[in-house]
Structure 1
Amino acid sequence: MNADALRPVVLAAAAHAGASGDNAHLIRLGHNAIYRLRKAVIARIARVDRLAVARKEIEVARWLTGVGLPVVRPIEDIDQPIVVRGHAVTFWHELPPHNYASRVELATVLRELHTLPAPGFDLPKLDPFEGLARLIDSASSTAGGEQDFLRSHLAQLQAQYTALPAGLPQCVVHGDAWPGNIARTHDGSLLVLDLEQIAVGPPEWDLLHTAISHATVGIVPEREYQDFCRKYGLDVTDWQGYPVLRDIRELRLALFAAQIAADDPRQQQQATHRLACLRGDLGPRPWSGWTAVP
């Protein structure tokens, strides 16, 4: 997504919602574009053709609020999502001052989320491969040989996923569970953010980010990882299905970097590095040099 092209989208959506977008300020450009408007309102612009996902985010936020799990709150007096040029736009209350949650706090929230009864509306089934084939085909930052490798790797993982060994019972999962998606406010409250990938699936999926941060890229120390496992009650790396889910998650992270690099050439080095790790060019895990992309 291009920030300049999205500005007319946020202006039109704000006008339709009865708000002013004149001072709209881009906060972050990633899977979604996040803008701050006046009066502590946040506008979230999805990629094209993501209307169903945007609707789900609003519904999930209301459900989680109703069952007592603190969560980012949509603006209630706006009929949303609003669609402008194919982009679904949603409006949210800006968070109070906050920091990322700790890994132990993340485990606390995940344990609570995973024990919730199913909501009174249908949630999609987790699809860990959603959009990956499209990303491989459209990744302008990858050469043809890399695309051949990625297609083959994806097909292998899809076959392995169908034969996963039994794990924990399926439940509501966040889908992108990392500390940046849990906000710790100054009064100690923990708020769940980024509801785009909420689904029903294996709870082990939500434990992957921390496990990979520890075992794949080595940025989470052993003690911190063990504290996370004790708080949640499980070390996902002990499960026989872990290597398959790990490889899927690593592929997603590599393709996300490639997607961002297509819009921001400054991220090309990181995208290339991640792909090199997947190909085995840099030896066995842990792989150093993985840095955050916006």
Structure 2
Amino acid sequence: MTTTGTEDVEELLRAACDQAGIDARDAEPIRLGENAIFRLPGGIVARIARPGQLDAATREVRIARWLADHDIAAVRALDDLGQPIEAHGRAVTFWHELPEHHKGTPAQVATALRRLHDLPVTEPNPFSALEPFVRLDERITAATSLTDDDRAWLHQHLATLRGSYNNLPAGLPHTVLHGDAWVGNVVATNDNQVVLLDLERASIGPPEWDLVSTAIKHTSFAWITADDYRDFCHRYGHDVTTWNGFTLLRDIRELRMTCYLAQHAAENPRAHHEAELRVTCLRGRNGPRPWSWSPAS
């Protein structure tokens, strides 16, 4: 029986499906973690949020429906169902399963972001303002595999970046953002439809935030080639690395990537070396970029 913490997520899933009138037999786990995801019969996917995320799950469903109304290809919440369902204190949402798909290319990310960022920001809409530092304090605190000195430095680095963000240089007009736009969250189906996944961080804010995610794949880690990055900039129509606010958003994104892995390294020893490497790089102890980080799976 699969568990997350002390909760039996399979029992939780059955309870939510009973409320929704959905068949939970033969449920197949897709991913088990902070958010547990299951494949259900009939082309349905259930997503069980971490505790305390009822409001966030409600907002994510509203965002998915808003994007559908604006002809943006993104994951689709089931219609004709009041969502989320609350079961055992957890929020459960139900989605249409995507057809066969694979990670998008930088070019496909650029095309998807261009269309998303071109949407008019009109009222009413389900979006809140971008929160670039959400959950970082708690992730650092939970990163118990790191030394006390490293965690203290990360807290201080976070405080410094927060202060600098209050004076972020002017850039492109604020738009609808995906919030976590990388090739794992922008996928291509086998019929070449490009689809946005994971709408949890969708918000209103500087479009540079979405663009930095791909820029650092080249400038910070050399995960994509210079040609791929030039093509990304050409298709989107802007090179975020030429903006004088780039280094600040780069540093925030690198910190987010480090804190996510460092928190999970506390429970997954295989991630510990990579978490230490990332902190060492942020602290300036491993030379200039590009750094030899390994992409998180």
Q: What's the TM-score, normalizing by structure 1?
A: 0.94
Answering whether residue 247 of structure 2 is matched by residue 253 of structure 1, we say no
Aligned with 1:15 (options 10, 13, 18): 18
What residue is the counterpart of 1:153 in the other structure? 157
Local SS of the residue matching 2:295? coil
Q: Is the 8 A contact 1:142 1:258 kept in 2?
A: yes
Aligned with 1:99 (options 88, 98, 102): 102
One-letter amino acid of the counterpart of residue 69, structure 2: G
One-letter amino acid of the counterpart of residue 214, structure 1: H
Q: 1:9 to 1:261 in 2, by over 3 A?
A: farther
How far off its partner does 1:30 sit?
A: 4.7
- Structure 2: distance between partners of 1:212 and 1:145: 26
One-letter amino acid of the counterpart of residue 248, structure 1: I
Range with greater deviation from structure 2 (200-209 or 255-264):
255-264
Task: Report Cα offsets for 1:81-138 as digits up to 9, x if no partner.
Answer: 0122332110101100111221111101101111101252341100100111111122
How far off its partner does 1:265 sit?
A: 3.0
Answering whether residue 291 of structure 2 is matched by residue 287 of structure 1, we say yes
One-letter amino acid of the counterpart of residue 54, structure 1: A
- Structure 2: distance between partners of 1:31 and 1:152: 26
- Structure 1: distance between partners of 2:177 and 2:237: 16
One-letter amino acid of the counterpart of residue 117, structure 1: P
One-letter amino acid of the counterpart of residue 170, structure 1: H
Number of residue pairs matched by the alignment = 293
Aligned with 2:113 (options 105, 110, 114): 110
How far off its partner does 1:16 sit?
A: 1.9
Alignment of 1:160-239 (within 5 A): 160-239=164-243
Task: Report Cα offsets for 1:140-198 as digits up to 9, x if no partner.
Answer: 22221111101110011011111111100111100000122122112221111111100
- Structure 1: distance between partners of 2:155 and 2:230: 35
- What percentage of aligned pairs have identical amino acids? 45
Answering whether residue 4 of structure 2 is matched by residue 2 of structure 1, we say yes
Q: 1:35 to 1:264 in 2, by over 3 A?
A: farther
- Structure 2: distance between partners of 1:113 and 1:199: 11
Answering whether residue 214 of structure 2 is matched by residue 241 of structure 1, we say no
Range with greater deviation from structure 2 (147-156 or 134-143):
134-143
Gap runs ≥5 in structure 2 = none
- Structure 2: distance between partners of 1:268 and 1:17: 40
Range with greater deviation from structure 2 (15-24 or 56-65):
15-24
- Structure 1: distance between partners of 2:275 and 2:32: 16
Local SS of the residue matching 1:153? helix
How far off its partner does 1:23 sit?
A: 2.2
Q: Is the 8 A contact 2:31 2:38 kept in 1?
A: yes
- Structure 2: distance between partners of 1:122 and 1:79: 16
Answering whether residue 83 of structure 2 is matched by residue 83 of structure 1, we say no
One-letter amino acid of the counterpart of residue 123, structure 1: F
Q: What's the TM-score, normalizing by structure 2?
A: 0.93
Local SS of the residue matching 1:179? coil
One-letter amino acid of the counterpart of residue 79, structure 2: E
Local SS of the residue matching 2:266? helix
One-letter amino acid of the counterpart of residue 4, structure 2: N
- Structure 1: distance between partners of 2:93 and 2:219: 36
Task: Report Cα offsets for 1:267-286 as digits up to 9, x if no partner.
Answer: 22222222222122211111
- Structure 1: distance between partners of 2:273 and 2:58: 35
Answering whether residue 75 of structure 2 is matched by residue 51 of structure 1, we say no
One-letter amino acid of the counterpart of residue 49, structure 1: G
How far off its partner does 1:80 sit?
A: 1.1
How far off its partner does 1:61 sit?
A: 1.1
What residue is the counterpart of 2:71 in the other structure? 68
One-letter amino acid of the counterpart of residue 242, structure 2: D
Aligned with 2:279 (options 266, 270, 275): 275
Local SS of the residue matching 1:71? coil
- Structure 1: distance between partners of 2:265 and 2:28: 22
Task: Report Cα offsets for 1:244-274 as digits up to 9, x if no partner.
Answer: 1000000000111122223433322222222
